[in-house]
Chains A and B, each alone.
Chain A
């Protein structure tokens, strides 16, 4: 059975895990409780054997107790020494830190080279813009890294001091634990004669004391080890603080920096946390008597279980506290690093977004924006005439041009001019731009000229100059530039200069149109010559349309001469102008014989036949009608453009007769609709026509208010003596038609 129990105990994992100490203790306890209790009946043999065993065991327990008490005492004084050991003021640390710092400083050069390479090759992450901030911070703070460590240590030490002062001398306090050795004092003698239950109890109490002392010793050992190793660890971290700062710069080494901070903060924070647990443990120990006084405690075989549990609790606090302090401090270190990273991010974000003026009235955002723009400009334009993407592109375009790449140079020129012009957009002083247009690179001068053009300040000779600088005729850029020049903005002399000097047909045509609109022609020959610059019929027609005012201002003979000299669409446009002016309203007579060579009807008809569409023909005839209504209606009749009239019945008439009837009725009707002004306008031309006179007399006599009509004609401002004379026959005819009432 005993063997079975032993085996059972051995197999039990719990006991295996707790080590041999507990196994031995359990075996001894089993030997003590079971076999000897039953062996009391076999008095002699058993009592002798028991006495030997008990004496031996008791002696061993006393020895173990003494050793543990001594060790605990030693540990207490050691802990006192370690706790009061200074960390900072160490010559070793300072010298070693200096060495490491000097070594770390060398890496700044390496980092600068890395930054330069990344900046030159425009690679992200390690370029100047990204790293310069960290670089400067590291370069500054690396020299103060030891002092920064000292500050942090002082900070945590001041917290630790609170607990240390409260605890006092740890060794002294723990010396009180010597009492632990007699916590369970034996109740009887160890002599053979008194080997009885009391003796058993003494043995048991001694065993309990050993357990208690073991717990205390273990706790103090942990305390000693942790406080002891903290010192060399912190020294090491302080010595390598410069490395932590240098690794702060590069993104790939930043985890080293973060690890350093994690451990440094962790080992600093560990101490006050652990001291807190020590403080609790020591407090409980030193106040045990007060805490447990007057309690009815359960005892078994002389063991006060409350005492036992009390000391187990102390052990748990001291050992568990060490474990908790370690994990909490490392977490605090990691948290500290994370907080640092977060805080830096937040600060940077806040700072970056801040519009608060901090640097001489400018916010960080202002300065950052300006700096970025300047950097971008430097990248684009280079510094001091060197470098820059623009210069590079220009060189590239130059080479491409030499290689025969089509439009390469022109495209680059356009790009350069546009970029430079954009930079000149704030320059609004024409004088400054004039000056800029005379110096610098070609594209810079062109940009200044473009700006002047935008401001409508470009003189004619500058237009010519810019056109040539762009490459003249055949250059796309020159073409585009000249397209933007409005000849209307120039005087006649300047337009003439532009016309002569700018060798671009489109531009010449543009000037020709302006000339036509303004009538910038010395004679009709110049006008007709100018029209030859246009090749398409549509352009010629537009030219004639633009010249309408000019043509109208000409003498009738000049108009006729121009009309006779042109063809196509231009002739059509001129025909409309001449019809409106009444140039077709008169018969053409021989200057000598006065014989009619071409009648007004024929002239209008000829002009109308220039047009194909009936409505266009009618349009021209209607224009001519204003000056010679009879001839115009005759032409309408001849061209079958007269419609039926409601009040004229042509029934039974031959077609010719019917047409004539309609024509006559139309003439009368149209004349009847004429205003006084229109009659006066036609008086010099069509009133010489008898049919017109007849129609007018008829229309005026038919109305009841013929006298008012006559009065209206005579008092009209348009009524010149000549026109009134022309109207004389009409008045005479009306007078003759009247009769005495």
Chain B
């Protein structure tokens, strides 16, 4: 995990634990903290780690995200960890949440996964299986999708740059593997 030094400000901005957390006395926050305490230690570490925050900050800077977008990205990652977002929908969620095109979002996810998901991959898979059993079952029944190259959705009036051919980087493959594994073709006996 390559991380850069970040300030306390950036930490509170990009850390999934503190992302979009305004008031500790708020009822939602209390629920969140209860859920947080129920997580495994690696996931608790992942959500509050300065390193993960640094990766997010770094990616935000790379993809030209605003502070608000970085904070939203962190919140989406937090939602993924808590099982509020299906992993297959992560790029689309980021795309819609951040207002960036899906390709960019996919690239962002790929990079994010490659740089920070490693230690918590198994935990995330476990949560995904528990939270989205139907989606996983559905994925099992349908053939393995090939990467779809959809037309880029313009986000601005500017001519979009030519969409690069989607290549599955090694860790994207890992992420894909996450998704494919989550389709439980090789679901372990519970």
Interchain nearest-CB distance for B64 vs A (Å): 17
- Our pick among A728, A739, A740 for the contact of B25 (Cβ within 8 Å) is A728
- List the A side residues contacting B25 at CB < 8 Å: 728
B38-55 residues at the A interface, CB under 8 angstroms: 41, 44-45, 47-50, 53
Query: Contacts A707-B50, A708-B50: A735 and B30 contacting too (C-beta < 8 A)?
Result: no
A188 CB–B CB distance under 8 Å: no
Binding site for A on B (CB under 8 A): 6-12, 15, 17-18, 23-25, 29-30, 33-34, 36-37, 41, 44-45, 47-50, 53
Q: Please report the C-alpha to C-alpha distance between residue A215 and residue B11 in the assembled complex, in whole angstroms.
A: 153
Which of A717, A728, A729, A738 is within 8 Å of B8, CB to CB?
Answer: A738
Pair B30/A721 contact, Cβ less than 8 Å: yes
Task: Assess the A707–B8 pair: CB atoms within 8 A.
Answer: yes
The 8 A-B residue pairs whose C-beta atoms are closest, nearest first, are: A728-B24, A738-B9, A707-B50, A714-B48, A738-B8, A707-B11, A715-B45, A721-B37
Closest to B49 in A: A711
Smallest distance from the beta carbon of A305 to chain B beta carbons, Å?
143
- B34–A714 CB distance below 8 A: no
Q: Smallest CB–CB gap between A693 and chain B, Å?
A: 12
The residue from A717, A721, A739 contacting B9, defined by CB atoms under 8 A apart? A739
A30 vs B63: C-alpha distance in the bound complex, in angstroms? 178
A720 interfacial by beta-carbon distance below 8 Å: yes
Contact mask for chain A residues 711-741; partner B; CB cutoff 8 A; 1 contact, 0 none: 1001101011100110011011011011111
A710 contacts the other chain (CB 8 A): yes
Which of A710, A719, A729 is packed against the most chain B CB atoms within 10 Å?
A710
A735 to B23, CA, bound (A): 11
The one of B9, B10, B24, B48 in contact with A715, judged by C-beta atoms closer than 8 angstroms, is B48
Whether A738 contacts B48 by the Cβ 8 Å rule is no
Are A725's CB and B33's CB within 8 A? yes
Interface residues of A in 324-365 (CB under 8 A from B): none
B33 touches A715 (CB 8 A): no
Q: Please list 14 pairs of residues, one from A and one from B, whose beta carbons are closer than 8 Å in the complex, sorted by A's number.
A: A701-B8, A706-B8, A707-B8, A710-B48, A714-B44, A721-B33, A721-B36, A724-B36, A725-B30, A728-B29, A735-B8, A735-B12, A738-B7, A739-B9
Judging by beta carbons under 8 Å apart, are A735 and B24 in contact?
A: no
User: A741 CA to B44 CA in the complex, in Å?
Assistant: 27
**A731 cross-chain contacts in B, Cβ below 8 A:** 18, 24
A323 CA to B26 CA in the complex, in Å? 144
Closest to A714 in B: B48
Question: Contact: A729 with B9, CB < 8 Å?
Answer: no
| Cα distance, A732 to B25, chains bound together (Å) | 11
A701, A708, A714, A738, most chain B CB atoms within 10 A:
A714
Q: In the bound complex, how far is the Cα of B49 from the Cα of A73, in angstroms?
A: 151
Known contacts A711-B50, A714-B48, A715-B48; is A740 also within 8 Å of B33 by CB? no
List chain A residues, Cβ under 8 A from B9: 738-741
Whether A729 lies near B50 (C-beta < 8 A) is no
B48 in contact with A711 (CB, 8 Å): yes
Closest CB-CB distance, B78 to chain A, in whole Å? 13
* Besides the known contacts A732-B23, A734-B8, 4 further A-B residue pairs in the complex with CB atoms under 8 A apart: A717-B41, A719-B37, A721-B34, A738-B9
**CA–CA, A710 to B6, complex, Å?**
14
Contact partners of A708 in chain B: CB under 8 A: 50
B-contacting residues, A253-297, CB 8 Å: none
Within 8 A of B (CB), among A668-714: 701, 706-708, 710-711, 714
Report chain A residues within 8 Å CB of B17.
Answer: 714
A180 to nearest B CB, angstroms?
144
Report the Cα distance A739→B67, complex, angstroms.
Answer: 13
Please indicate the chain A residues that have their CB under 8 angstroms from the CB of B29 in the complex: 728
Contact of B53 among A707, A725, A735 (CB under 8 A): A707
B72–chain A nearest beta-carbon distance, Å: 17
A741 to B8, CA, bound (A): 9
Q: Is the pair A724, B33 in contact by a Cβ cutoff of 8 Å?
A: yes
Closest to A740 in B: B9
Q: Shortest Cβ distance from A611 into chain B, in angstroms?
A: 40
Q: Which residue of B lies closest to A726 (CB)?
A: B24
Q: How many Å lie between the Cα of A706 and that of B34 in the bound state?
A: 23
- Chain A residues closer than 8 Å to B41, beta-carbon distance: 715, 717
Given contacts A707-B8, A725-B30, A741-B7, contact A735 B18 (CB under 8 A): yes
Bound: A467/B184 CA distance, A: 75
When distances are taken between beta carbons in the complex, the residues of chain A under 8 Å from B53 are 707
Complex CA gap A708/B9 in Å reads 13
Q: Are A738 and B36 in contact (CB under 8 A)?
A: no
A725–B24 touching, CB < 8 Å: yes
Question: What is the distance, in angstroms, from B46's C-beta to the closest C-beta of chain A?
Answer: 9
